[in-house]
């Protein structure tokens, strides 16, 4: 087992709203190992992005607040760190790329300018001449053709895929240990998505960084991740290595999610059946039912799930395969 | 269901196998520039597209963003006025109809949009939203009849009756898409253009909406043009699939044929790029280099040649004509995959 570089323990993130407090992330724990990719999967509103922002301590406060838990980066608790120290880690040791490459680049600066800014902030011993060389080198590394020319262009002159490459170049400028990718390919076309995923894999091999891949696309998870955590209503409901989750999902939600994808498979029987679905909708975080949050949509739900036994917590049912469910799939 | 007298004329006129035949459709958007505002260039968003859809079938239309899928869908309904070409709907050339006749025709051709958040008026109740198309087309005029129709529509899309008095913001994304579907169904259309109807929805809700669309198709004998970039969804729902690249349909075939053995290299690359939700399968992936070229200035010859690994001199010179692999499988490529 390689080195553990990030350990998140019982993270709770709450938001104050006009209608009271909601718990967007509720007791999430996970470990991240050097050179490995952890996929966090879930539907919109499940708390994936909030978890990622919490690791970076970028939760807007107010209204948000990390109310309890620990985030240990190489044994150091990031939540106890002063803002000054945090700034040295953010962007330097832990970097993040976002879903919308259009809105996360500043339209009035050249991309070269924006890459240089990262280097200038975190590595003050690099001269301005070297910064430019380094920036061009980074653009080359992420596969941007004629980087010397592109370096002086503005974001609007680049395509979506190219902008996401620039974002990756910026996030890699300081050779981070951890890269958090929040839906990095959701806004891109499939052929461009394939390019970007391939690029991320290649750079991970070269630089040995760990990646947290946040996505709702189970296909992307299957192709890129080593471990998977499934989130539902702010909680992690299942956590294991990739194969176990995909081949033997234990939580009824994971099972439903996997079966509701129309599999692209040329050998499949072409008689068109209906897609298996998960009935109902994700409940509102304002009025979660007592017990398991998934009970109303679950085929296995029993009295235990409706609060009789309290809230389900993650338990290992097989080595390394944890699930929080009273009536798991068998 | 009640009968519509005026539109019945069209219906009985021609009962050919095809409900829609698109012939050489072109949509060119001019680009104006300079101080005089002269046309300096143009974008051929849809470039000489020909295809047809049979009654009761679903034609899937796939392609990357900017390839002209949406423009094609809208030009068929004349929400965008096509530059040239023919759109034959049940034997009538839609592009030649006057405004009044067109309105009549639109009753039979409806559209479902991608974004259920943007396509419902936030100030109108669901009742008012569903009522509007009925009012415009003068259908179900009696009060009792109208009310019965509204309930029936909600029933089609599995929404509760009390939804009529609510506003769009009270519904989730999946429910709003159901409302959009109900609105499209209100006027008893025969043909619906579904423009990325499930792209904005979560996976579990997406499956519900896909099932709903398939059930409704069976029940109401609808014909769909299903535009999407998600190839898994398209394969699932479509009888036939058309692949677009830079304004042209480059391949069209039965769903099984195209997914089993496609001929156009672009189709192959597109399918190989889909992330497979099965970690045990190690796929051979074709990574396309570069981006889609600008439609303002497409490369000479086959538009795909700069990204194609099979391209030859010939591909750089002339745009390939349509070839047939079988009666139901057409493609435009000089060096097809064998």
Domain locations in chain A as residue ranges? 1-93+178-263+273-288+322-330, 103-173
Interface test with B, best of A277, A283, A294, A299 (most B CBs within 10 A): A277
Rg (CA), chain A: 21
Name which of B308, B326, B295, B311 is nearest B266 in CA terms.
Answer: B308
In a domain, B167, yes or no: no
Instruction: Check if A274 contacts B (Cβ < 8 Å).
Output: yes
Alpha helices in chain B (DSSP H): 5-13, 69-76, 99-106, 126-137, 143-156, 173-185, 203-220, 231-237, 255-260, 265-272, 313-317
Please tell me which of the candidates B204, B285, B287 has its beta carbon nearest to residue A260. Answer: B204
Alpha carbon A261 to its chain centroid, in Å, reads 20
Range of the domain at B256: 16-108+189-331
In a domain, B338, yes or no: no
Contact A246 B279 (CB under 8 A): yes
CA distance B332 to B323: 6
Residue, of B172 and A250, whose pLDDT is higher: A250
A327 Rama class: left (phi>0) / alpha (psi -120 to 50) / beta: beta
CA distance B285 to B293: 21
Contact A270 B255 (CB under 8 A): yes
Q: What is the pLDDT of residue B3?
A: 42
B171 interaction partners in chain A (CB closer than 8 Å): none
Name the helix (H) or strand (E) containing A4: strand A4-17
CA distance B254 to B60: 10
B231 interaction partners in chain A (CB closer than 8 Å): 190, 264
Instruction: Check if B65 contacts A (Cβ < 8 Å).
Output: yes
In a domain, B6, yes or no: no
In a domain, B79, yes or no: yes
Count of domains in chain B? 1
CA distance to B77, B79, B96, B309, per residue, from B102 (Å):
9, 11, 9, 45
**Is pLDDT above 80 for B16?**
no
> Are B115 and B201 a contacting pair, CB within 8 Å?
no
- Domain A1-93+178-263+273-288+322-330 is of which CATH architecture? 3-Layer(aba) Sandwich (3.40)
Confidence of residue B20 (pLDDT cuts 50, 70, 90): very high
CA distance A43 to A151: 37
Contact B285 A220 (CB under 8 A): no
> Chains A and B: how many Cβ contacts under 8 Å?
124
Average pLDDT value for residue range B189-193: 95
CA distance B9 to A213: 57
In a domain, B302, yes or no: yes
In a domain, B238, yes or no: yes
Instruction: Check if B246 contacts A (Cβ < 8 Å).
Output: no
CA distance to A189, B148, B230, B317, per residue, from B243 (Å):
14, 41, 12, 22
CA distance B296 to chain A (A): 15
Residue, of A129 and B189, whose pLDDT is higher: B189
Q: Which of residues 82-141 of A touch B (CB under 8 A)?
A: none
Alpha carbon A218 to its chain centroid, in Å, reads 13
| pLDDT tens over chain A, length 330 residues | 678 999 999 999 999 988 888 899 999 999 999 999 999 998 888 889 899 999 999 888 888 889 999 999 998 899 998 988 888 888 889 999 988 777 888 999 999 999 998 888 888 788 888 889 989 988 888 888 888 888 999 998 888 888 888 988 888 888 899 999 998 888 778 888 888 888 889 889 988 999 999 998 888 999 899 999 999 999 999 999 999 998 889 999 998 888 888 764 444 444 457 778 888 888 888 888 888 989 888 888 888 888 888 888 888 888 889 999 998 887
Alpha helices in B246-309 (DSSP H): 255-260, 265-272
Q: What is the pTM of this model?
A: 0.83
Contact A275 B236 (CB under 8 A): yes
In a domain, B58, yes or no: yes
CA distance B131 to A318: 56
Long-range Cβ contacts of B152-156 (<8 Å, 24+ apart)? B153/B182, B153/B185, B153/B186, B154/B130, B154/B182, B156/B181, B156/B182, B156/B185, B156/B216, B156/B219, B156/B220
Instruction: Check if A262 contacts B (Cβ < 8 Å).
Output: yes
Q: Are strands B58-62 and B240-245 parallel, antiparallel or unpaired?
A: parallel
Residue of chain A whose Cα is closest to the Cα of B230: A190
CA distance B92 to B89: 5
Q: Which two tokens stand for residue A22?
A: 């909601």
Q: Which of residues 196-255 of A touch B (CB under 8 A)?
A: 197-198, 216-223, 242-243, 246-247
Contact A281 B205 (CB under 8 A): yes
Residue A107, SS3 per DSSP? coil
**Is pLDDT above 50 for B1?**
no
**Is pLDDT above 90 for B204?**
no
Residue of chain A whose Cα is closest to the Cα of B307: A191
Residue entry with tokens 């990739």: A242
> Are A225 and A304 a contacting pair, CB within 8 Å?
no
> Are B205 and B174 a contacting pair, CB within 8 Å?
yes
Beta bridge partners, A22, equal A15
CA distance B47 to A314: 56
Burial class of residue A26 in the structure, from the number of CB atoms within 10 Å of its CB (0-12 exposed, 13-18 middle, 19+ buried): buried
Q: What angle do the packed helices A128-141 and A111-122 form, to 10 degrees?
A: 120
Q: Which two tokens stand for residue A137?
A: 């080198």
In a domain, B292, yes or no: yes
B291 interaction partners in chain A (CB closer than 8 Å): 159, 161-162, 192
> Are A73 and A31 a contacting pair, CB within 8 Å?
no
Please tell me which of the candidates A242, A257, A274 has its beta carbon nearest to residue B204. Answer: A257
CA distance B168 to chain A (A): 16
> Are A24 and A234 a contacting pair, CB within 8 Å?
yes
Contact residues for A168 (Cβ-Cβ < 8 A; gap 6+) = A97, A142, A184, A196, A199, A200, A203
């Amino acid at each position: 087992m390689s080195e553990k570089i990030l350990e998140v323990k019982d993270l709770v993130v709450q938001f104050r709203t006009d209608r009271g407090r909601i718990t967007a992330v509720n007791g999430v724990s996970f470990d991240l190992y050097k050179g490995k990719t952890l996929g966090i999967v879930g539907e919109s509103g499940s708390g994936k992005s909030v978890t990622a922002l919490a690791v970076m301590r970028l939760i807007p406060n107010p209204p948000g607040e990390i109310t309890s838990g620990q985030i240990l980066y190489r044994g150091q608790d990031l939540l106890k760190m002063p803002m000054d120290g945090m700034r040295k880690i953010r962007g330097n040791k832990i970097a993040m790329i976002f879903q919308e490459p259009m809105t996360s680049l500043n339209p009035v600066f050249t991309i070269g300018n924006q890459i240089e800014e990262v280097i200038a902030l975190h590595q003050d011993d690099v001269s301005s001449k070297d910064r430019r060389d380094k920036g061009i080198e980074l653009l080359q590394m992420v596969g941007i053709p004629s980087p010397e020319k592109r370096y002086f262009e503005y974001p609007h002159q680049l395509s979506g895929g190219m902008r996401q490459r620039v974002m990756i170049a910026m996030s890699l400028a300081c050779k981070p240990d951890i890269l958090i990718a929040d839906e990095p390919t959701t806004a891109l076309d499939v052929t461009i998505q394939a390019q970007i995923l391939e690029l991320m894999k290649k750079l991970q091999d070269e630089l040995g960084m760990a990646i947290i891949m946040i996505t709702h696309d189970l296909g992307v998870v299957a192709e890129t991740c080593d471990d998977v955590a499934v989130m539902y209503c702010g909680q992690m409901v299942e956590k294991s290595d990739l194969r176990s989750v995909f081949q033997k999902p234990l939580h009824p939600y994971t099972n439903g999610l996997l079966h509701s994808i129309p599999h692209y498979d040329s050998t499949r029987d072409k008689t068109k059946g209906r897609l298996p679905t998960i009935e109902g909708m994700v409940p509102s975080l304002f009025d979660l039912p007592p017990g398991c949050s998934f009970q109303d949509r679950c085929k296995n739900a029993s009295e235990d799930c409706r609060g009789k036994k309290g809230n389900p917590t993650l338990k290992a049912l097989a080595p390394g395969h944890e699930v929080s469910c009273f009536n798991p799939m068998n | 269901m009640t009968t519509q007298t005026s539109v019945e004329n069209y219906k009985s006129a021609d009962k050919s196998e095809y409900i829609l035949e698109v012939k050489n459709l072109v949509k060119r958007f001019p680009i104006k520039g300079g101080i005089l505002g002269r046309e300096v260039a143009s974008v051929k968003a849809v470039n000489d597209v020909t295809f047809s859809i049979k009654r009761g079938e679903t034609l899937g239309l796939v392609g990357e963003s900017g390839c002209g899928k949406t423009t094609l869908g809208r030009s068929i309904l004349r929400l965008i006025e096509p530059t040239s070409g023919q759109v034959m709907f049940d034997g009538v050339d839609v592009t030649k109809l006057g405004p009044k006749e067109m309105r009549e025709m639109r009753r039979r051709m409806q559209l479902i949009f991608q974004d259920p958040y943007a396509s419902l008026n936030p100030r109108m109740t669901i009742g008012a939203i569903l009522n509007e198309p009925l009012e415009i087309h003068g259908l179900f005029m009696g009060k009792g009849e109208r009310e019965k129709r509204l309930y029936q529509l909600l029933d089609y899309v599995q929404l509760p009756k009390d939804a009529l008095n609510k506003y769009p913001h009270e519904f989730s994304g999946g429910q709003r898409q159901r409302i959009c579907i109900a609105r499209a169904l209100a006027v008893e259309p025969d043909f619906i253009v579904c423009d990325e109807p499930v792209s904005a929805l979560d996976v579990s809700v997406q499956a519900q909406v896909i099932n709903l669309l398939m059930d409704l198709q069976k029940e109401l004998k609808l014909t769909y043009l299903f535009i999407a970039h998600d190839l898994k969804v398209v394969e699932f729902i479509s009888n036939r699939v058309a692949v677009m690249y830079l304004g042209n349909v480059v391949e069209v075939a039965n769903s099984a044929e195209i997914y089993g053995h496609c001929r156009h290299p672009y189709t192959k690359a597109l399918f190989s790029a889909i992330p497979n939700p099965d970690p045990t399968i190690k796929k051979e992936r074709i990574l396309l280099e570069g981006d889609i070229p600008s439609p303002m200035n497409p490369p000479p010859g086959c538009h795909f040649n700069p990204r194609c690994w099979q391209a030859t001199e010939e591909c750089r010179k002339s745009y390939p004509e349509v070839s047939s692999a079988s009666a139901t499988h057409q493609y435009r490529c000089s060096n097809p995959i064998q």
